[in-house]
């Protein structure tokens, strides 16, 4: 599928990885309706393709994404936003992908850009990355999960500081705060993210999907319910050939060859 605002690649160095680049350089990858709709389509395509085990979402060296497209939103009325249920369907299309998505963030990840990165499963950052929720400067609020996900990731104090002042956080502060899992030099970020994704794609896709579901459940349930779900899914993994293969390979001191069955 050809896209107007995205470039989708299959890196030869990592079979099993789909690399999606946001591509609106003229607007620092600002998220407009076309881009978010296309992103949902590209993710659905990756989800439906058995040869894809992990997805990397990235932008350009200057910007992962500088936010939702302010020029698209500026003249909208409350009725317009409400009738369109602005970006709800597009966000759902990202939130419901069952394969892992790594955000590889270089440069600005602001507003909707920061929210998009947080919708991914984890964030790898370039040393040039800058995160922020500057919506307050526009007289609005984050609208695709920022107040909720940032607070869960970095805690109330830093989330309030970021959201009420609109200030940016650099990569080191973001890593210290728990927003980012690792930092790489900017010129190596995408290669390193593809390498990490390649490692994930080499695992059992069944176990990977269940592990993703379980970590996400930690945000939605009580500890008792989450641990009970974990135990059930852990037990259920013993129904798959991949569990037999993974454990046999360990005992036989060889690499496992997972089949996804």
CB 66 within 8 A of CB 28: yes
59 binds ligand HXC (CB under 6 A): no
Q: Which is nearer to ligand HXC, 46 or 171 (CB)?
A: 171
Q: Which helix (H) or strand (E) holds 54?
A: strand 54-58
28 binds ligand HXC (CB under 6 A): yes
Determine the interface stretch with ligand HXC among 69-77, 193-201, 210-218, 219-227 (rule: CB under 6 A). Answer: 69-77
Q: Which helix (H) or strand (E) holds 103?
A: strand 101-105
**Would residue 252 show up in a list of annotated catalytic residues for this protein?**
no
- CA 27 to CA 53: how far, in whole Å? 31
67 binds ligand HXC (CB under 6 A): yes
Min dist CB 254 to ligand HXC, Å, is: 49
Map tokens 């350089």 to a residue: 25
**Would residue 72 show up in a list of annotated catalytic residues for this protein?**
no
69 binds ligand HXC (CB under 6 A): yes
Min dist CB 35 to ligand HXC, Å, is: 11
- CA 252 to CA 247: how far, in whole Å? 9
What lies within 8 Å, CB to CB, of 105 at 6+ separation is 58, 59, 64, 117, 123, 124, 125, 126, 129, 131, 180, 189
- CA 100 to CA 246: how far, in whole Å? 20
Q: Which is nearer to ligand HXC, 4 or 252 (CB)?
A: 4
- The β-bridge relationship of strands 168-170 and 130-132 is antiparallel
Q: Which is nearer to ligand HXC, 145 or 198 (CB)?
A: 145
Site for ligand HXC in 30-49 (CB under 6 A): 30
86 binds ligand HXC (CB under 6 A): yes
70 binds ligand HXC (CB under 6 A): yes
| Beta-sheet strand order (sheet of 101-105) | 6-9, 17-22, 54-58, 101-105, 122-126, 182-184
119 binds ligand HXC (CB under 6 A): no
- Active site members: 68, 112, 115, 135
Residues forming the site for ligand HXC (CB under 6 A): 27-28, 30, 66-71, 86-87, 108, 110-112, 134-135, 138, 142-144
């Amino acid at each position: 599928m050809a896209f107007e605002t995205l470039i989708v690649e299959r890196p030869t160095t990592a079979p099993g990885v789909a690399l999606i680049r946001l591509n609106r350089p003229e607007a620092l990858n600002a998220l407009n309706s076309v881009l978010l709709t296309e992103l949902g389509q590209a993710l659905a395509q990756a989800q439906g393709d058995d040869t894809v085990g992990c997805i990397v979402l990235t932008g350009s060296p200057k910007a992962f994404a500088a936010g939702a497209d302010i020029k698209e939103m500026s003249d909208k009325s409350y009725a317009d936003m409400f009738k369109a249920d602005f970006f709800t369907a597009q966000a759902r299309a990202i939130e419901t992908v069952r394969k892992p998505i790594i955000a590889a963030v270089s440069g600005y990840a602001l507003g909707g850009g920061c929210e998009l990165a947080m919708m991914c499963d984890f964030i790898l950052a370039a040393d040039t990355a800058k995160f922020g929720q500057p919506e307050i400067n526009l007289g609005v609020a984050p609208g695709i999960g920022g107040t909720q996900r940032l607070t869960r990731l970095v805690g109330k104090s830093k989330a309030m500081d970021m959201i009420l002042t609109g200030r940016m956080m650099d990569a080191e502060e973001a890593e210290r705060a728990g927003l980012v899992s690792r930092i790489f030099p900017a010129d190596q970020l995408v290669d390193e993210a593809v390498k990490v994704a390649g490692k994930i794609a080499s695992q059992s896709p069944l176990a990977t999907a269940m592990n993703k579901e379980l970590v996400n459940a930690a945000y939605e349930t009580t500890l008792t319910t989450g641990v009970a779900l974990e135990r059930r899914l852990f037990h259920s993994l013993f129904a798959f050939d991949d569990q037999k293969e993974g454990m046999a390979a360990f005992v036989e001191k060889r690499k496992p060859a997972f089949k996804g069955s």
